[in-house]
Amino acid sequence: MSSASFKSVESEETLSLRMPAVKAVRAQGVLAWSSLFFVLLQSVCSFFVALDGLRVVIGVGALAGITQAGMAWDKVHTDWIRVPMIAFALMGALLNLAILRRVRYLRRRPSSLWRQRPLTLRKIRMERIQLVLSLVTLALIAIEELTHFHTFHRM
């Protein structure tokens, strides 16, 4: 045999001998990562079990926090914050309703009927969600303004 063919036979033998070693290293890596994953999963479980025992402390803290927030609410609930927020919400809801109305109008036009494809269920659902959210926003604005007028005797 020539020296070149001897080297190729030798390299094939070393490769075949190394293959089980490479597979063993990969298996050890998978085992190590999966062990780490399950340890982290168990740590999260232990965290929530420990947190479960702190429910009373969290509840008392929330009660104390809300009483302090009630005292600070008058400082936050001022017209310079409230009025722009209501105006943006009102404009957004009305703009959304106007866009939905315009889209439905454009779909019903005779000139666009020939190129219409049936709407997907996702698109119908999203338009309905937008409609409901806009109407809920308008209702919440009305409720907030009525309760604000009732409480503070001004809009």
Predicted confidence at residue 45, as pLDDT, reads 58
- Work out the burial of residue 127: count CB atoms within 10 Å of its CB; fewer than 13 is exposed, 13-18 middle, 19 or more buried: middle
Predicted confidence at residue 116, as pLDDT, reads 80
Predicted confidence at residue 79, as pLDDT, reads 79
Asked whether the beta carbons of 149 and 155 are under 8 A apart, the reply is: yes
Measured distance CA(29)–CA(27) in Å, rounded = 5
Q: Which residue from 136, 148, 151 is spatially nearest to 79, judged by alpha carbons?
A: 148
Q: What pTM does this model have?
A: 0.52
Low-confidence ranges of the chain (pLDDT < 70): 1-32, 34-60, 62-63, 66, 69-77, 155
Per-residue CA distances from 134 to 34, 107, 155 (Å): 47, 21, 22
Asked whether the beta carbons of 116 and 107 are under 8 A apart, the reply is: yes
Q: Which residue from 135, 133, 126, 136 is spatially nearest to 103, judged by alpha carbons?
A: 126
Predicted confidence at residue 135, as pLDDT, reads 92
Give φ, ψ of 116 to 5 degrees: -75, 140
